[in-house]
Every structure is written in structure tokens, then in C-alpha cells.
Amino acid sequence: MPLLPARLNLIDGRDLPAASGLTLPVIDPADASALTTLPRSDARDIDAAVAAARSAFAGAWGRTTATERGRVLMRLSAAITAQAEALSELECRDTGKPIAQARADIAACARYFEFYAGAADKLHGETVPYAAGSTVLVLRVPFGVTGHIIPWNYPAQIFGRSVGGALAAGNACVVKPAEDACLTPLRIARLALDAGLPAGALNVVCGLGAEAGAALAGHPGIAHLSFTGSPATGTAVTQAAAVHHVPVTLELGGKSPQIVFADADLDAALPVLVNAIVQNAGQTCAAGSRVLVERSVHDRVLALLAERFSALRTGPGLAGADCGPLINARQRDRVAAMVERAVGDGARVVAQSRLLPEAAATGCWFPPLLLADVDPAAPIAQEEVFGPVLCVLPFDDEAHAVALANGTPYGLTAAVWTRDGSRALRLAHAIEAGQVFINNYGAGGGIELPFGGMKHSGHGREKAFEGLRSFTTLKTVAIAHG
Ligand code: NAD
């Protein structure tokens, strides 16, 4: 018997089942029990949601002033904060993440709406000095209907990040959350309507990527698409959107390096190095999954990391463990297979965290694991594991550190730990990444900081004021007046 009532899509302000009448199970990854069901939507449901968004944009929502949009989003932020504990518990059950992480995620989601509420009426266009006797206005305008395909690792946070900016800029949104975790986006979208968002301005359609997701990516009625997920799916959605020349923002994950020099403050660095890979069981696009250590301190850093990994407790999120389960059995098996291959390739398991006795045998567990003697060219050091697996690699000098840092297809985030300020800045310039942290690391953190990748990590930026601009386009009005 599922724990929660069946969930429905939110389309045009109404709670609706899938047109097909089909549902998908929602499974608690901590014990494989049934939580609820979701609508298994298809192109018909996406059509209805896009039509609702188009009419909201042409109607009440499209006429709303920027100030009023900001007020609606501020009320939504307050509503999320007021219901934070219930939302955190829902996020914890749906994704498996530790309750402390879920609380941080819900607070971040509220903060996204607060940030974009405050920014909504600060966004404006420009004038251009052009020909004599003319005035040129460059208007910054919303796209119209924006599509948002979001993943399962941070459902509430990525919903806030993507939808917050798009709504503040004046767009109407259609969201396809991940089939593995979409309970908080559905709940928060309903709160948005209660906060005064007109029906149709925000629609959430659940279902499988290959069905509902593909229908949204290829829909001729959307004018912009924001996607967060795997590189392969990023390619598929870009190809689908290109048929209608729809611009796409892509956030596709990474293989983020943390570079530790011999002069680093290890007391400050160590807890951050561990958290950057254990947070959300490593299922974080900006997880710090490679620690590059100057050879003279490599063995010492490895031993200190091993101590911390051994002390971590893996178990149910609601039990307050340091690390929860992976999202599903497929992801757990994928991580286990990558580690098995790495060990076959010569990597050495240095430490692995404990599984708490209360962890159900049916849970999708993979306790945090520390690997050394990793070949920089091996898949474990090149590909996104999306699990709590940390590779430690030695480097000889600055040039070697930069070569290793840049030696993967990804370029999302990085960190440099050193007391030498000039070296830190040289590396910040040399590293190919959308964000470089010096003596700190925010795995995906910082709503005020532009976020997005280089190389295979994607393109376009979300978060910060840049995330608001990303959901607008420019219209130039040239007036000849003599
Ligand atoms: P995915 O990229 O397939 O799924 C992400 C979202 O895209 C989900 O909402 C899914 O329903 C949707 N989707 C899937 N196929 C689609 C299609 N053809 N058209 C439109 N939408 C589609 O990710 P996954 O399969 O859940 O996870 C696989 C790997 O992706 C992970 O192991 C990890 O490496 C990576 N990943 C990265 C992030 C990130 O934050 N960068 C998030 C989730 C997964």
C-alpha cells in the first residue's frame, strides 16, 4: 500500500492524470518500498501544458508587471519556507538524501525564488547611440513559453533555479521533472498558484524521458529549453530542439578537480574535500570527484582522507546518516561496475564507509569509497561516476596539475588549495571550468554565482543575474525622428 496518495500533473491550474491513464511507481530508494504513483504522461499531456502556458503568456501572466511578478515569487519563497519541514521530508523520502541535505535543498529552493523575486524589476534593456536623428531601444523581453527538463539529484533546487529565473523574466513554464524524483516540484508548483501565479503560467508534467521529455524537447510551441542531466540526453534534447531552432541551455555534469598543493591549509581543506564527494551520495553535477595532490604530501593527504571516509555512516536519510542511498538500483549497479572495472585496471581501494545496521537490505546502498593509484586516463578518472567515489591522484608541479585538471572532457567546477596567492590566480586562469574556487568549494552552491560549464559540461549559465538574462531575448527598436 503506497504511503502517499497518487500524484497528478499540474496543467492550467488543474490536477490531471495522464491522458493515457497510465501511472509509474515512485520508489523509496532507502528500502524499495512504494511511496506513490506518478502520471505516465506523453505528447498529449505536453501539448495541453504548452497550450496552457501559451494562453497564460498571451493573457494574464503576459500582462503582469515585473514588480508584480517579483511579489508573487516572494510570496512563493515565503510559502516554501513556511512548509520547509514537510517539503524536506518529502525530498528526503523521494531521493534518499540525508534529511540535513534535504533541508538545505529546500532552503536553497526558497532562496532561488527570493533572489529572482528581488531581481525581477531590476532587469532592463538599453539605448544605443546610433544614427543622427534616431533613438534606438534594445528591449529585453521574455521568450514566451520555456521548457524545463530537470534531473532527480536536486529536484527542488534545480526546479527553483530554472523556473525562478524564467518566471521572473516573464515567461510561462512547462516543467518535466525526472521520473525518479518529482514530488517536491509538483508540491511547490501548487504553492506557486496559491501565491498568486495565474493558472497556466507554471505547468508540471511527469513521465518518462523518452516519452514526456522527448515530446517537450521537440515541441514547436516552446521558445527556449533548459536541460540538466547527462551528456547523452543533452545531445538528444539539443537535436530535438534544433528541429524548431529552439535555443537550449545545457548543464551536463562534470569531473571536477580539487588541487591540493603542499602549502595548503589541510585542516580547512579536508572536511571540504570529503563533503564535496559525499554530499548527496556523489550524485552532484559539481561533485569534487578528483583530488589532485602535490606528490610530497600525497600519502599524508590520502591517509587523512582515509580516516574521514572510514568514520562516515551510510544509511537512511531520515536516520540522519552522513550518506544516503543512491537514487535507484540501476545507478547503484552502474557505480559498482565502474569501481570494479577501476580495480581491475589497477586502482587501489584505500577506505570505504560503514553501512549503518538500520540500513534495509533492499536499499540502493553504495558507501563512500576512496581510490588511489588511479590511471588518469582510466574511465574512473575520466567519466562522471555519479556516486560517492573519490579518486586521489598525485601531481609533480603546477603545469602537471593544470594538465590533469583539464585532462577530461568536462569543465564545470574546480578548486585550488594553496597559500600562494599568485599561484592560485595563475591556476584560476589556466583551468577550464565555469567556476574556480580558491581555498573553498561550493559543490553547486552559491545562488548569486553564475553557474554552468565549458566543454562537455554544457553551455549557457543559470543562477545569479545571468540566469535571469538567459531566459530573455533582445528586441531592437530603431526610431528615426529627425
Ligand atoms: P538523464 O539525463 O537521462 O535524465 C535527466 C532528465 O532528462 C530526466 O527528467 C529524464 O526524464 C529526461 N530525459 C531522459 N531522456 C530524455 C529524452 N530522450 N528527451 C528528453 N528528456 C529526456 O539522466 P539519468 O538517466 O537519470 O542519469 C544518468 C546519468 O546522467 C547519471 O549517472 C549522471 O552521470 C548523469 N546526470 C547528471 C545530472 C546533472 O546534474 N548534471 C543529473 C542527473 C543525471
DSSP 346-372: T-EEEEEPEEPTTS-TTS-----EEEE
pLDDT of 36 above 70: yes
Q: Is residue 352 part of a domain?
A: yes
CA of 55 to the centre of ligand 1 (A): 29
Q: Is 175 touching ligand 1 by the criterion CB < 6 Å?
A: no
CA of 233 to the centre of ligand 1 (A): 6
Q: Please indicate, yes or no, whether residues 92 and 209 belong to a single structural domain of this protein.
A: yes
Determine which one of 91, 114, 211, 251 is catalytic.
251
CA of 198 to the centre of ligand 1 (A): 30
Q: Is 285 touching ligand 1 by the criterion CB < 6 Å?
A: yes
Phi then psi dihedrals of residue 34, to 5 deg: -80, 125
pLDDT at 449: 95
Q: Please indicate, yes or no, whether residues 428 and 350 belong to a single structural domain of this protein.
A: yes
- Which DSSP letter does residue 7 get? P
* pLDDT tens-digit readout, 456-470: 999 999 999 999 999
Ligand 1 atom nearest the C-alpha of 251 is 41
Report which protein residue has its CA nearest ligand 1's atom 16: 209
- Assess whether 251 carries a catalytic annotation: yes
List the domain range (segments joined by +) for residue 27. Answer: 9-252+459-477
CA of 210 to the centre of ligand 1 (A): 10
CA of 195 to the centre of ligand 1 (A): 30
Q: Please indicate, yes or no, whether residues 111 and 168 belong to a single structural domain of this protein.
A: yes
Q: Is 284 touching ligand 1 by the criterion CB < 6 Å?
A: no
Q: Please indicate, yes or no, whether residues 396 and 315 belong to a single structural domain of this protein.
A: yes
Q: Please indicate, yes or no, whether residues 170 and 314 belong to a single structural domain of this protein.
A: no
Q: Please indicate, yes or no, whether residues 270 and 241 belong to a single structural domain of this protein.
A: no
Q: Is residue 301 part of a domain?
A: yes
Q: Is 153 touching ligand 1 by the criterion CB < 6 Å?
A: yes
Report which protein residue has its CA nearest ligand 1's atom 18: 210
Report which protein residue has its CA nearest ligand 1's atom 22: 209
* pLDDT tens-digit readout, 73-84: 999 999 999 999
Q: Please indicate, yes or no, whether residues 218 and 329 belong to a single structural domain of this protein.
A: no
Q: Is residue 482 part of a domain?
A: no
Q: Supply the angle between the helices 155-168 and 84-95 in degrees, to the nearest 10.
A: 120
- Using CB atoms within 10 Å of the CB of residue 310, give its burial: 0 to 12 exposed, 13 to 18 middle, 19+ buried: middle
Q: Is 254 touching ligand 1 by the criterion CB < 6 Å?
A: no
| Contact in structure between 451 and 461 (CB atoms under 8 Å) | yes
Specify the number of domains making up the chain: 2
pLDDT of 309 above 80: yes
Report which protein residue has its CA nearest ligand 1's atom 9: 178
pLDDT at 154: 98
Distance CA 182, CA 26 (A): 9
Distance in Å from the first CA to the final CA of the chain: 75
Q: Is residue 2 part of a domain?
A: no
Q: Is residue 302 part of a domain?
A: yes
Ligand 1 atom nearest the C-alpha of 180 is 26
Report which protein residue has its CA nearest ligand 1's atom 30: 230
* pLDDT tens-digit readout, 373-427: 999 999 999 999 999 999 999 999 999 999 999 999 999 999 999 999 999 999 9
Q: Is residue 4 part of a domain?
A: no
Q: Is 236 touching ligand 1 by the criterion CB < 6 Å?
A: yes
Phi then psi dihedrals of residue 134, to 5 deg: -140, 160
Q: Is 283 touching ligand 1 by the criterion CB < 6 Å?
A: no
* pLDDT bracket for residue 2 (50, 70, 90): confident
Ligand 1 atom nearest the C-alpha of 240 is 19
pLDDT of 443 above 70: no
CA of 151 to the centre of ligand 1 (A): 6
Report the CATH number at residue 397: 3.40.309.10
Q: Please indicate, yes or no, whether residues 233 and 288 belong to a single structural domain of this protein.
A: no
Report the CATH number at residue 179: 3.40.605.10
CA of 453 to the centre of ligand 1 (A): 16
The angle subtended at Cα 37 by Cα 33 and Cα 42, nearest 5°, is: 140
Q: Is 9 touching ligand 1 by the criterion CB < 6 Å?
A: no
Q: Is 233 touching ligand 1 by the criterion CB < 6 Å?
A: yes
Distance CA 22, CA 112 (A): 33
Other CB atoms within 10 Å distance of the CB of residue 474:
11
Q: Please indicate, yes or no, whether residues 78 and 108 belong to a single structural domain of this protein.
A: yes
Other CB atoms within 10 Å distance of the CB of residue 15:
12
Q: What is the pTM of this model?
A: 0.97
292 Cβ contact partners less than 8 Å away, ≥ 6 residues apart:
257, 258, 259, 260, 393, 394, 395, 401, 404, 405
Q: Please indicate, yes or no, whether residues 329 and 419 belong to a single structural domain of this protein.
A: yes
Distance CA 71, CA 88 (A): 24
Q: Is 176 touching ligand 1 by the criterion CB < 6 Å?
A: yes
Report which protein residue has its CA nearest ligand 1's atom 3: 233
Q: Is 217 touching ligand 1 by the criterion CB < 6 Å?
A: yes
Tell me the Cα Rg of the chain: 23
Per-residue pLDDT, averaged over 12-24, amounts to 98
| Contact in structure between 457 and 444 (CB atoms under 8 Å) | no
Per-residue pLDDT, averaged over 213-223, amounts to 98
Q: Is residue 225 part of a domain?
A: yes
* pLDDT bracket for residue 1 (50, 70, 90): low
Q: Is residue 452 part of a domain?
A: no
CA of 303 to the centre of ligand 1 (A): 35
Q: Please indicate, yes or no, whether residues 219 and 77 belong to a single structural domain of this protein.
A: yes
Per-residue pLDDT, averaged over 172-189, amounts to 98
Q: Please indicate, yes or no, whether residues 397 and 343 belong to a single structural domain of this protein.
A: yes
* pLDDT bracket for residue 444 (50, 70, 90): low
- Using CB atoms within 10 Å of the CB of residue 104, give its burial: 0 to 12 exposed, 13 to 18 middle, 19+ buried: middle
| Contact in structure between 369 and 284 (CB atoms under 8 Å) | no
